[in-house]
Structure 1
Amino acid sequence: MAKTETDTRERIVATAAKLFYMSGVRAVSMDVIAEKVDLTKRTLYYHFRSKDDLIAAYLEERDHPNLALFQRWYEESPGTVADKVESLFRNLAQAARHTKWRGCGFLRTVAELADMPGHPAVKAATIHKKRVEDWLADALEAALPGAGSRILARQVMLLMDGAFAAALTHRDPGYMETAGRAAATLVRAAETTSGGA
């Protein structure tokens, strides 16, 4: 793909990402996206065969940056592994205080497409959530060998996804912080079991 074609594709995805995140994937039409990017619909469909493909690209483009952000928050946090896990939730709570915060784009998209389990965006969201869980399990295993890191990572992810839902429902980032304290409690219990810290 030529550089200008790549640039155009990136502009389409970046614009669609903002619109989808703010308004939802079903509420935003291809006409609106084409208008915002200042392209014809024909050009838009040249780059994306369908709106479904564009929705999937939106989530695929968010996969690596979101995971990298979690990794950075974890690594930069001082203290024990429990402190590091809790810091993920504190950082999410801080993000949730922004006026443009609309929750987890992956979860919101899956909820909108709940009647379409085979949708490429649902698959992209599943892959992302699994990658975050796998990264967390590996980080926990490195710090707490023998502590059941896979189960612990899944428990933390359940708290995180629940916190996304509660914070969005109640418009209260305090739910993120409460979930973070619960996650830290689970990790501290695992630290005691494994003898790590």
Structure 2
Amino acid sequence: MAKLPPRERILDAAEELFQAEGIARVGVQAIAERARTTKMAIYRHFETKDELVTEWLRILAADYQAAFDRAEADHPGRPREQILALARFIADGLPEISYRGCPFINSLAELPDREHPARQVIERHKALQTDRLLGMCAAAGLPDPQQTTAEITFLLEGAQVSHQNGSIGQVGPRLLRMIEAILDRR
């Protein structure tokens, strides 16, 4: 991490700490120590901790949107395969989130103020994600694309929570089988 520029080190340290401990429990001093920098350096790049949290979530949202881009690029004109690719992206990522869970869900729980800029990033991301999935469901010719989008979204979100709390075994394979069953309903 020390070879990265300061801003990237700060963001990497913030991500690691926010994921492990949550936003509220992590102070700027802890981020500075993990990034091997000073609080003053953090405040040169981010005016407030809220600004740092917001930027971290913007980066995470961009990573998730990139998964949509990859699914579309890897399976052009094949929306069913695109949807399965997204489900595989979530299923494959489950081990990484098993300790603390989905960073968006966790952050929403810690940011109850709907006007908070970081919460707005999450809400915009989730709306865009839903719109893109709806487009895929419609292009796949699935019956009632809005209902199908809701079902798939519930499964993707629920799989992350179920994996985190350990209530269901074999979450990834089960998620993929359920998504396939929805896609086969045509």
Query: Unaligned 5+ residue runs, structure 1?
Result: 1-6, 193-197
Query: Unaligned 5+ residue runs, structure 2?
Result: none
Tell me if 1:160 matches 2:156: yes
Q: Distance in 2 between matches of 1:125 and 1:54?
A: 14
Post-superposition CA distance 1:124-156 (Å, at most 9, x none): 111111111111112222232x74323322321
Tell me if 1:149 matches 2:145: yes
TM (norm. structure 1) is 0.77
Decide whether the 8 Å contact of 1:95 with 1:101 is kept in 2. no
Structure 1 residues 171 and 34: CA distance shift in structure 2, 3 A: farther
Structure 1 residues 12 and 74: CA distance shift in structure 2, 3 A: same
Residue from 166, 170, 177 that aligns with 2:173: 177
State how many pairs are aligned.
181
Post-superposition CA distance 1:3-61 (Å, at most 9, x none): xxxx4323322221122112211221100111222222122122222211111111001
Which residues in structure 2 correspond to 1:115-126 (within 5 Å)?
Answer: 115-126=112-123
Which residues in structure 2 correspond to 1:59-98 (within 5 Å)?
Answer: 59-73=57-71, 76=74, 81-82=79-80, 84-98=82-96
Structure 1 residues 95 and 101: CA distance shift in structure 2, 3 A: farther
Which residues in structure 2 correspond to 1:18-37 (within 5 Å)?
Answer: 18-37=16-35
Q: Which runs of 4+ in 1 moved over 4 A?
A: 80-84, 98-101
What's the % identity of the aligned pairs? Answer: 27
Decide whether the 8 Å contact of 2:6 with 2:37 is kept in 1. no
Residue in 2 that maps onto 1:131: 128
Q: Distance in 1 between matches of 2:109 and 2:181?
A: 29
Structure 1 residues 128 and 185: CA distance shift in structure 2, 3 A: same
Structure 1 residues 100 and 158: CA distance shift in structure 2, 3 A: closer
By how many angstroms is 1:75 displaced?
5.2
Q: Distance in 2 between matches of 1:83 and 1:65?
A: 20
By how many angstroms is 1:157 displaced?
1.0
By how many angstroms is 1:122 displaced?
1.2
Structure 1 residues 70 and 171: CA distance shift in structure 2, 3 A: farther
